[in-house]
Structure 1
Amino acid sequence: MASTPPKHLDPAQSYASDEALFIMQIYEPPMAYHYLKRPYELIPGALSRAPDVAYLNASGEEISDEADEPAYTRYTLHLRDDLHFQPHPAFAQDKDAKPLYFFDTEEEGTAYRQPSDFPETGDRPLVANDYVYAIKRLADPANASPMLGFMSQYILGMEAFSELVREQPKQEWLDLNDFQMDGLKVLDDDSFTITIKGRYPQFLFWLAMPFFSPVPPEVDRFYSNPGFADKNLTLDWWPVGSGPFMMVKNDPNSEIVLERNPNYREEFFPTEGAPGDREAGYLDDAGKPIPFVDRATYRMEKSGLSLWTKFMQGYYDRSGETHAHTTGVFDQVFVVGPDGVEMSEEMMTHDITMSPDVKPGIYYYGFNMRDPVVGGYTEDKRKLRQALQIAFQTEEYLNVFYKGNGIAAQSPIPPGIPGHLEGKEGINPYVYDWVDGEARRKSLDYARQLLVEAGYPNGRDALTGKPLKLFIDVQSQAINSTSMSWIDRVFSEVGVQIEFRPADWNRTREKLLTGNTQIYSSGWLADYPDPENFLFLLYGPESPLLCECDGANNSNYANDEYDAMFRRMRVLPPGPERDALIADMVDLARRDAVWLYAFYPKEIYLNNSWVHNNKRHGISKATLKYTRIDTDLRPEMQKLWNKPVTWPIYGGLLLLAGLAVPGILAYRRRQRETVGR
């Protein structure tokens, strides 16, 4: 259930969570995540075991693990021996073992518009070169992969490979097997190596992302047939993988349908999980073969009300994300009590279950540290930003606009990610005090005093007397007049004026890239469960003004001490030394007050009573295979909840009868009178 169709289903091009919802059911990257364990645990996916890691010097010779600065790190990946691609016409062969559907002219493929139009399919086992070929596709400029810039900083020879491919004459299909990348080597059908520059332990997390999903050369060649792109017969529309499901229908204005891949390997539901999982019923299916479902249908619903109505009628198994600020639905579903959000009485009668989810992400308003008013690193500038942080009553904002369904952020690192601290040791001491066992926001009087010390008594410049007026850039579709009025009001309480500058995403992004903002809205959801994935949002070289790229440091924060610690932290293995660096970096960001306010988003998913195994996974989208449906209960409840309402029909018939009787009596009376005459 979604309101917009996915834009990209090619793993080389996709970088959106709604697209990963489909991609990760179809493909198997080398690494994966344990479905139940928390904290998030990385496990082998398509691999038979975790990669072997070796550190190399500049000559390519192995050195000890303790070496501070290896020139390279080599990962050796060993595949499982039971991986098999789904049936697909790209693998179909004639009697001479030649591809059936590799065409030279557009006319040869005129009859085909989707994979099901091809009368013959084939399949084959997955081999190491399928992964190597997929990484080469990341480097091919023709694919415009969002990962090229980042991964070329790490994978040895990727940048040179990209330039080599770019220089090739334009042709219908370029076989990337003809070109070598220094950092990639196929050892045999079941193993290959990836060599990266230096040391980067987080690379293992990247191996669990969709970008590293295998793409067989035959599939790349098949979709390069003349004329196929014009009718969306492409990998970006029709993915081909070895995962538990395969796509059998892709109608962007109607529905997307996945069916069980008949060639999927043997896999079983986890037999262990996080504390409390057994009591919650998440281990009821422990050890059973998966996937449980044979078919999954995702319908495109333009209207949230329509989606909700069908869910309540039992025609959808899950509600999708129920955002607290979708007030109409939220008020019908939940009540906010002293213990937080609870199911309403109506939902309880439907036996609907609730799956709350604190996402590993953060939403925030950030200061542009290069702005002459709110930017800068002097003590008066810090106090100005700290005063504004205190004035923004995040808790009230969440209660008013999110029904309390969010957590005021104390750190750039959200819950569930190493480096996030709870309790007294985790509070931001520049904005909060620890009082009676809880964090309490500092008073507005204290904020006003900070404004005085910053040179803005009563919200006016002490030198010119002019009022302090700040500008906030927001995406027009992400804010409404009510929330803007609320923000304007809370800042007016400390004498500060606010002017909003709403614009569409493209215009807002342009302003961020050029540094033409003062305060801006933004957010980030974890790609992988490591603090580096959040702390890099404040890393100096990630500033769009410095990297001349789509950098993530939209605040243009530049602190040499922070940057040095970040470079050290990102290459350290987990342990006390890394933890101490992370804590110091968080303290620096708090002291410099880089973000105006932030919160960790919470969302709630609802499931009808026949849906089992609903535990949310904040990182991985490869969870459909664990879902179990009681197919006997579903039609029973649909029938119960959708009984035909017959009383209007019977009432109408009675009304018609009532109207007809006087006419019939009058007709008979006239007939008798006629006979009498």
Structure 2
Amino acid sequence: MGQTNSYRRALLLLALAALSCNARAEWNNPYPAAEEGKNILYTAFRERPKHLDPARAYSSNEYDFIAQIYEPPFQYHYLKRPYALAPLTAVALPRPAYLDTQSRRLPPDAPPAAVAYSVYEIRIRPGIYYQPHPAFARDAAGKLLYHALDERALAGKYAIADFPRTGTRELVAADYVYQIKRLAHPKLHSPILSVMGEYIVGMKDYAATLTRAYADVAGGREDGVYLDLARYPLAGAEAVDRYTYRVKIRGVYPQIRYWMAMPFFAPMPPEAERFFSQPGMQARNLTLDWYPVGTGAYMLTVNDPNRRMVLERNPNYHDEFYPRAGEPADAGRGLLADAGKRLPLIDKVVFSREKEGIPYWNKFLQGYYDRSAVLTESFDQAVRLTGSGDTDVTESMKQKGIRLLTSVAASTYYLGFNMLDPVVGGYGERARKLRQAVSIAIDYEEQISIFRNGRGIAAQGPLPPGIFGYEDGCAGSNPHVYDCVRGVPRRKPIEFARRLLSEAGYPDGRDARTGAPLTLYFETAATGPEEKARLDWMRKQLQKLNVQLEVRATDYNRFQEKMRKGDAQLFEWGWNADYPDPENFLFLLYGPNRKVGADGENAANYDNPEFNRLFERMKNMENGPERLAIIRRMLDVARRDAPWAWGVHPKLFTLEHAWVLNAKPNNMANNTLKYLRLEPAPRARDRAAWNRPVLWPVAAVLLLLAAGAAPAVIAYRRRERTVRR
């Protein structure tokens, strides 16, 4: 009897022990216990970055990392809209000095035709230092410690952390000049060399000079080659003094300041390139493409792009403070609560690679990722469309305190009409009214709802929100496609489109001269079941006008060839802004930039003389009332001509937990992690609540197994006692 009671007590203790685990920390936490409650942001990335060298990187998944590390002279103001440049390491935004062909100074209001050169003199702030790095380490005599390494000294070194000593030094103007020179380095293949070659004085010749110099220095070697760029001057970039440098541009090109807000124009210390150029480094993946060296708010401390990337606060980061002003509504949204506080506000950022959407989404719901994109696999679970056609998180997301952040991308996607085509092209009333009728019939609001889950806004012209010249509401609507109804743009009724079609000579979708049905041809490289549904929808849009749409699907190369030759009648095209200037969108309709004959980005081959003249006046102007008046006239001309059915500006959706603060989407700035703030205590509380182990089924199974085994155990013990007697 005593043994039976002892056995029962053991079973009870086992069950209680299992059940007590419900009160213990979550078992599925993927992070070390030591990080609990720390000021660390956790997020994910899908694609591994290919380049981290600022002369080479150009993709958004690369900028997610390097923009936190490298600091060009300028940045975008975090809160202001339209997007505005602000100093970062520079003392102020420079105004160009204009020179004629004899390098004589011209007045600031000199006509662009008289300006041979624009000179930008940029002064940087003293007292900015690089992150700790072995490239700067020195011995007691002041000699660079790791700049003459042989194979023996490199033994066992496969990461920056394997070098025990680090150092730093002050940022100087010559570092910016050095990086501009690197854009022409023959081994880096910078994606903006061709563009900068058109503007920075001497850049084309400089690239040729470096190609010859590198061949001489390398002597056929591929490893351990260092080309000292300080030995090769560049006419368009020079240091004036320790904290000032000068960039010389051909003609008038104010957009160069936007380029100077990109990592391409961030400083590069020559010591870093010399350090990584030593023999044996590249074989160990010790390169600038793998380990950035910057002055930014963060430094990369772990680079395992197949698993994890870690950014940590740069201990040498200079004084920078959260902005004190933004848009009028920012204060009410809590976006100015940290005004004036020193940046960055987060100590560490851990990026984990998630190749599949479902694990990514589940970890976000469990609180293990602080932010998440809205994935296709989880859209319906996360987002709902409101009665007004807007978007919000679902009720289950609200219960978790999850918020939805939306922003309109600085992008446009449109249906283009080939203006060289004999049917839809040309500038007469017949073709113009046909294009306007088609533009009304294609209901982009419906397309956004069906195929984009509400992630977009119907375009009223080429300019998206956030770009100077964009105007909201009826003031900025396209009067040839929309009516203003109670202060809101509403697409014109299909009856109006049919009347336009009749006036164009196609009553009820038939050519009035021949009686033949009107058939239009849509060229596309899109294939697959998802695209079939969208193309079927496109056919139905034109069927409202009794117009037939024939889809001509082909491979991408053939599609591009048709576009270059002007053989496409209707097509879809898109553009993502390099910088937030209206010139970067309106040039898509500039005649000399046409696709046919010039191989430009004007895919519709639109060539209106009035639009061209206005563009040439507008493109190099500073933002202001005069420029806005010209842009409005340009939009009037283009909307009337309708070379595009203006299409869609995509919306970007981001989800974040309630413990993430200060988030405001900025589709131009990439260095925004430094502005975010976390509340680790609420995160720890919610993680524990959402991931508490449910162990009573385990305890129940253990009890059942034990109870089933008990008679056999008792019988066995009795037999043992009998044998001993």
Query: What is the aligned partner in structure 2 of residue 392 from structure 1?
Result: 442
Task: Could you tell me which runs of 5 or more consecutive residues in structure 2 were left unpaired when the two chains were aligned.
Answer: 1-43, 219-224
* Structure 1 residue 27 displacement after superposition: 0.9
Query: What is the aligned partner in structure 2 of residue 28 from structure 1?
Result: 71
Query: 2:163 is aligned with what amino acid?
Result: F
Q: Cα RMSD between the aligned structures?
A: 2.9
Q: Secondary structure at the match of 2:483?
A: strand
Q: Aligned equivalents of 2:581 and 2:617: distance in 1?
A: 15
Q: Secondary structure at the match of 2:350?
A: strand
* Structure 1 residue 671 displacement after superposition: 7.6
Q: Aligned equivalents of 2:453 and 2:611: distance in 1?
A: 36
Counterparts in 2 of 1:129 and 1:322: CA distance versus 1, 3 Å: same
Q: Secondary structure at the match of 1:167?
A: helix
Counterparts in 2 of 1:316 and 1:160: CA distance versus 1, 3 Å: same
**Alignment partner for residue 111 of structure 2, among 65, 68, 93?**
68
Contact kept? 1:472, 1:498, Cα under 8 Å: no
* Structure 1 residue 242 displacement after superposition: 0.5
Deviations 1:369-425 (A, max 9, x none): 344554333433323322221121111111222333321111111122221122333
Query: What is the aligned partner in structure 2 of residue 576 from structure 1?
Result: 625
Counterparts in 2 of 1:335 and 1:513: CA distance versus 1, 3 Å: same
Contact kept? 1:386, 1:447, Cα under 8 Å: yes
Query: What is the aligned partner in structure 2 of residue 2 from structure 1?
Result: 45
Deviations 1:345-390 (A, max 9, x none): 2112111223222223222232333445543334333233222211
Q: Secondary structure at the match of 2:303?
A: strand
**Alignment partner for residue 579 of structure 2, among 528, 552, 559?**
528
Counterparts in 2 of 1:107 and 1:661: CA distance versus 1, 3 Å: closer
**Alignment partner for residue 308 of structure 1, among 342, 358, 361?**
361
Query: 1:553 is aligned with what amino acid?
Result: N
Q: Aligned equivalents of 2:263 and 2:555: distance in 1?
A: 28
Counterparts in 2 of 1:173 and 1:429: CA distance versus 1, 3 Å: same
Q: Aligned equivalents of 2:491 and 2:322: distance in 1?
A: 45
Deviations 1:574-603 (A, max 9, x none): 233211221122122222222234122222
Contact kept? 2:520, 2:570, Cα under 8 Å: no
Matched, 1:447 2:480: no
Deviations 1:445-489 (A, max 9, x none): 333344444455544555483651412314558953332322222
Query: What is the aligned partner in structure 2 of residue 40 from structure 1?
Result: 83
Q: Aligned equivalents of 1:350 and 1:251: distance in 2?
A: 32
Q: Secondary structure at the match of 1:521?
A: strand
1:386-425 matched pairs, under 5 angstroms: 386-425=436-475
**Alignment partner for residue 541 of structure 2, among 470, 490, 493?**
490
Q: Which has the higher contact order (CA 8 A, sep 6+)?
A: 2
Query: What is the aligned partner in structure 1 of residue 94 from structure 2?
Result: 51
Query: 1:252 is aligned with what amino acid?
Result: P
Query: What is the aligned partner in structure 1 of residue 286 from structure 2?
Result: 233
Query: 1:216 is aligned with what amino acid?
Result: P
Query: What is the aligned partner in structure 2 of residue 375 from structure 1?
Result: 425
Counterparts in 2 of 1:481 and 1:227: CA distance versus 1, 3 Å: farther
Deviates more, 1:486-495 or 1:390-399: 486-495
Q: Aligned equivalents of 1:502 and 1:215: distance in 2?
A: 47
Q: Aligned equivalents of 1:337 and 1:64: distance in 2?
A: 56
Contact kept? 2:186, 2:214, Cα under 8 Å: no
**Alignment partner for residue 471 of structure 1, among 505, 512, 522?**
522
Deviates more, 1:429-438 or 1:465-474: 465-474
Q: Aligned equivalents of 2:100 and 2:647: distance in 1?
A: 43
Q: Aligned equivalents of 2:440 and 2:498: distance in 1?
A: 10
Query: 1:45 is aligned with what amino acid?
Result: L
Q: Secondary structure at the match of 1:168?
A: helix
Contact kept? 1:12, 1:134, Cα under 8 Å: yes
**Alignment partner for residue 85 of structure 1, among 113, 118, 130?**
130
Deviations 1:266-303 (A, max 9, x none): 22222222212222111111222211111101122112
Counterparts in 2 of 1:573 and 1:271: CA distance versus 1, 3 Å: closer
Counterparts in 2 of 1:504 and 1:317: CA distance versus 1, 3 Å: farther
Q: Secondary structure at the match of 1:523?
A: strand
* Structure 1 residue 310 displacement after superposition: 0.5
**Alignment partner for residue 120 of structure 1, among 149, 158, 165?**
165
Query: What is the aligned partner in structure 1 of residue 58 from structure 2?
Result: 15
Query: What is the aligned partner in structure 1 of residue 221 from structure 2?
Result: none
Deviates more, 1:99-108 or 1:490-499: 99-108
Deviates more, 1:327-336 or 1:116-125: 327-336
Counterparts in 2 of 1:55 and 1:95: CA distance versus 1, 3 Å: same
Counterparts in 2 of 1:500 and 1:654: CA distance versus 1, 3 Å: farther
Contact kept? 1:103, 1:226, Cα under 8 Å: no
Counterparts in 2 of 1:31 and 1:315: CA distance versus 1, 3 Å: same
Contact kept? 1:4, 1:300, Cα under 8 Å: yes
Query: What is the aligned partner in structure 1 of residue 591 from structure 2?
Result: 540
**Alignment partner for residue 532 of structure 2, among 471, 476, 481?**
481
* Structure 1 residue 433 displacement after superposition: 2.2
Q: Secondary structure at the match of 1:488?
A: helix
Q: Aligned equivalents of 1:95 and 1:280: distance in 2?
A: 53
Q: Aligned equivalents of 2:528 and 2:243: distance in 1?
A: 48
**Alignment partner for residue 640 of structure 1, among 675, 689, 703?**
689
**Alignment partner for residue 623 of structure 1, among 656, 672, 693?**
672
Q: Secondary structure at the match of 1:448?
A: helix
Q: Secondary structure at the match of 1:90?
A: helix
Matched, 1:607 2:656: yes
Q: Secondary structure at the match of 1:25?
A: coil
Query: What is the aligned partner in structure 1 of residue 25 from structure 2?
Result: none
Query: What is the aligned partner in structure 1 of residue 408 from structure 2?
Result: 358
Contact kept? 1:129, 1:189, Cα under 8 Å: yes
Query: What is the aligned partner in structure 1 of residue 200 from structure 2?
Result: 155
Query: 1:526 is aligned with what amino acid?
Result: A
Contact kept? 1:23, 1:210, Cα under 8 Å: yes
Contact kept? 1:417, 1:529, Cα under 8 Å: yes
Query: 1:15 is aligned with what amino acid?
Result: Y
Counterparts in 2 of 1:237 and 1:516: CA distance versus 1, 3 Å: farther
Query: What is the aligned partner in structure 2 of residue 249 from structure 1?
Result: 302
1:558-577 matched pairs, under 5 angstroms: 558-577=607-626
Quick check: which has more Rg, 1 or 2? 2
Query: What is the aligned partner in structure 2 of residue 222 from structure 1?
Result: 275
Q: Secondary structure at the match of 2:175?
A: helix
Query: What is the aligned partner in structure 1 of residue 21 from structure 2?
Result: none
Query: What is the aligned partner in structure 2 of residue 175 from structure 1?
Result: 228
Q: Aligned equivalents of 1:475 and 1:46: distance in 2?
A: 45
Q: Aligned equivalents of 1:375 and 1:57: distance in 2?
A: 42
Deviates more, 1:565-574 or 1:88-97: 88-97
Deviations 1:170-216 (A, max 9, x none): 12222221112222221111001111122222322222122111112
Q: Aligned equivalents of 2:151 and 2:549: distance in 1?
A: 59
Matched, 1:207 2:256: no
